[in-house]
A and B are shown apart, each in its own frame.
Chain A
Amino acid sequence: MIAAAIPRVDWTSIAPVVTLFATAIVIILFISIARGRVRTYEPALFLAVAGLGLTAYFLARQWSAVIDDGPADAMAHMVALDGFSVFVGLIVVIAAVLVLGLSADYLVDRKIESRPEYVVLLLISTAGMLMMAGANDLIVVFVALEVLSIPLYVLAAFDRRRARSLEAGIKYFVLGAFSSAIFLYGIALTYGATGTTSFEGIQSFLATRLLVDEGTLIAGLVLLLVGLAFKVGAVPFHMWTPDVYEGAPSPVTAFMASATKVAGFAALLRVLYTALPAYSADWRQLVFGLAVLTMLGGSIGALLQTDLKRLLAYSSVAHAGYILIGVQAASAAGLRSALVYLFVYAFMTIGSFAVVVALGGRDDLHDIDDLRSLGRRRPVLAALLAFLLLAQAGIPPTAGFIAKLGVFEAAAQAHSYALLIVGVVTSVIAAFFYLKVILTMYAAEDEGETVIATEADSTPVGLAVAIVLAVSVAMTLWIGFLPSVILDFAHDATFLF
């Protein structure tokens, strides 16, 4: 009655995840041994970056394997090795490196304790995301979701001396656990309805069988969607985002906004595109509704915000809405556009948070009013923030425009004209609050007040943050001007899905 033998371990497919775990363990061991004797933080950072670099190398290996042999699965069909997983994995790894860059000085400056552990948690979370990218089974999705989320709960609350950070942590945790339970229930119902949790199993089951009584499956689908919508921050499951983004340490927020969102969408795309294509007519309706609400909610919610991080949180909600447009298209173009959007979005948002980090600010509060006449006080930072915000607003020739163009094209192609209209209209609403920030930096000056250079103005931007900022801006510009590379990359990724 033994169903199967122990599966052959396909190292290619799991190498990235394993590498990250191994790095994390190495760092933990190092901490335990070296604590109190030598500095542990810098070596931990170094090890982490090296591990991430190695991971990227393995991802590249995976890519060539996929190119050569086509998509495959491994570990008893639990792991998918395809263009999609590599693409998403790459975004996540890049995001993790950039966030480490943001964190390096930040943790020191703010006197946050347990810094090496921070690095470990970040690595494990990243590993969870990689797992998610290659998930081929609902159970793997669930476990990966937890592996990436639980460290994030801790990271959000990491600045323990700040009440806001703790509050972010507890809120994220309660709601995260709650939505995980719902998601899990969805898995259970789907399991009952199809007899399996494997994507391929579900897909082939639904492809070969015409279910008469679809109640359980539909209920499962709905609950799965709720859980994933929570992770990607879609309205009305978004309410945690503003609070958590605002309260969490800025680099963590950057990580959540970029990598977590990527992972969430990876899961969503996997579940919907791989497991449930037979029900695309149904979930397209739901995603349609979610997309509309998310775009509207994100852009309208941001209108009156006074805190920069909170504003960026709402903006990330709005972005989720645009990505949902790509999801809703249920086509290769939709998938590709969503991937491109995620890629671009990661850079834009990390760049924006890099400015937030560079600006410092007492108690990590970021009132937009404090940006007053930043254009005069810190011209370079102001210009970069303005640029990144305009990119987020989707103004060409930035990557943001290419991203939006992609999802809108997908919508048009899928005849989702209503989404297209809502999308373009909310872009305009969204432009308002980005402009509000820009105006504060540039036009608010010389209204009778003299520009007072604060102490923070003279603090130089740390090298790591500067590099992160430069990379983000460079990518945003580069993709804006010459998007072919990334478009083709994403195209191949979807082709090999």
Chain B
Amino acid sequence: MIAAAHLSEGYYLTFAAILFCIGAVGLLVRRNVLVMFMCVELMLNAVNVTFVAFSRALNDISGQAIVFFVLVVAAAEVAVGLAIIVAIFRRRRNGATADDIDLLQG
């Protein structure tokens, strides 16, 4: 069933690892909350790539099925996350960054 001349899954997985870490680092270094969300999306996409690559390597469909769940979760998260941001920014119109949200500390 599987064509012999596939590119080894290692390439995809390495790519995914790099993408994942770029996303993670992005979340750490950016201060705009929306960009931070985007970085989370990058990480989720990296995971998706991983699932798909494994799915092919294992010749197992469930890897692809799982990606659907990730998509749904991502969508739900974004909806709620953006709603929270909207609620916050309603109060603070002057474009606050994540660093300005630090009432709670210590």
- Contact A154 B43, beta carbon cutoff 8 Å: no
A292 within 8 A of B: no
CB distance from A33 to the nearest CB of B (A): 24
> Are B91 and A163 in contact, CB atoms less than 8 angstroms apart?
yes
Chain A: interface residue count, which band?
35 or more
CB pair B33–A174 under 8 Å, yes or no, is yes
Residue contact A243 to B37, C-beta cutoff 8 Å:
no
Interface mask (A161-180 → B, CB under 8 Å = 1, otherwise 0): 00110111111011001101
CA distance A244 to B104 in the complex (A): 8
A181 touches B40 (CB 8 A): yes
From B36, B69, B77, B105, give the contact of A150 (CB < 8 A).
B77
Contact of A192 among B58, B69, B77, B105 (CB under 8 A): B58
Complexed CA–CA distance, A57 and B88 (Å)? 40
Residues in A neighbouring B70, C-beta threshold 8 A? 184
Report the minimum CB–CB distance from B82 to chain A (whole Å): 10
Cα distance, A228 to B81, chains bound together (Å)? 21
Partner of B69, one of A142, A169, A174, A182: A142
Distance of B66 from chain A, by nearest CB (Å) = 6
B27 adjacent to A166 (CB under 8 Å) = no
Which among A169, A173, A246 has the greatest number of chain B C-beta atoms within 10 A? A173
Any chain B CB within 8 A of the CB of A305? yes
Given A139-B69, A146-B77, A177-B54 contact (CB < 8 Å)? no
In contact, A310 and B106 (Cβ under 8 angstroms): yes
Q: How far is the CB of A27 from chain B (nearest CB, A)?
A: 19
Beta-carbon contact of B77 and A164 below 8 Å: no
Residues of B within 8 A of A150 (CB): 76-77, 80
Contact yes or no, B88 A166, CB < 8 A: yes
B60 lies within 8 A of A246 (CB): no
Interface residue? A157 (CB, 8 A):
yes
In the complex, chain A residues whose CB is within 8 Å of the CB of B83: 154
Tell me which residues across on chain B come within 8 A of A143, comparing CB atoms. 69, 73
B: which residues have CB within 8 A of A?
Answer: 13, 20, 23-24, 27, 33, 36-37, 40, 43-44, 46-47, 50-51, 53-54, 57-58, 60-63, 66, 69-70, 73, 76-77, 80-81, 83-85, 87-88, 91, 98, 101-106
8 extra interface residue pairs, beta carbon distance < 8 Å, beyond A185-B20, A247-B103: A142-B73, A143-B69, A143-B73, A163-B91, A163-B103, A168-B104, A181-B47, A242-B106
5 contacts between A and B (CB under 8 A): A142-B69, A150-B76, A166-B88, A177-B37, A197-B66
6 A-B pairs with the lowest CB-CB distances in the bound complex, closest first:
A243-B104, A192-B54, A181-B43, A188-B50, A177-B40, A184-B47
